[in-house]
Structures are given as C-alpha cells and as structure tokens.
Amino acid sequence: MIQHAIPYAAPGPGCSCTAQPCGGLLPDVECPDHGHRKNPAMAWHVADGERCLQLAGGGHHRGGAA
C-alpha cells in the first residue's frame, strides 16, 4: 500500500522526496529532512484515498472552485 506523508514543517531545500498533488510527499529514504535517518513525525494517508483526494481538491465534492 502506498501512503503519502504530509510533513508538519515545510520541506527544506535539501528535500529529495517526491511531491504529490495533495501536498503530501512520497518520502525518499535518503532525504535529509524526511528520510530514515531522521524519521520525523508526519501525517500519513493512503495514496489516492479519500483524504488524499480531498487535499488535492478533488474527491466527491466536485464542481467547486479551483
């Protein structure tokens, strides 16, 4: 299962994670901010799950303002 991580702090310039449309990240294990060495607390949700779609501005509330 793929999950996205939303960092509590903004990613630093050294962040090597892959940004997602929902504002979350696909964490890179080598990332100096979010990798295994730091293993920071982040808010996780399932990729393409309900939370993910809500954050990305989609989900089941269609037709709203962009």
When binding is defined by CB under 5 A, the residue of 17, 43, 44, 64 that contacts Zn ion is 17
Region binding Zn ion by CB under 5 A among candidate stretches 4-12, 36-44, 58-66: 4-12
Taking the complex as a whole, the smallest distance from the CB of residue 60 to Zn ion amounts, in Å, to: 16
Token pair recorded at residue 15: 């962040």
As a whole number of angstroms, the distance between CA 37 and CA 27 comes to 12
What letter does residue 10 receive in the DSSP assignment?
-
Is 24 a binding residue for Zn ion by CB under 5 A? The answer is: yes
Query: What φ, ψ does residue 54 adopt, rounded to 5°?
Result: -60, -45
Name which of residues 44 to 63 contact Zn ion (CB under 5 A): 52
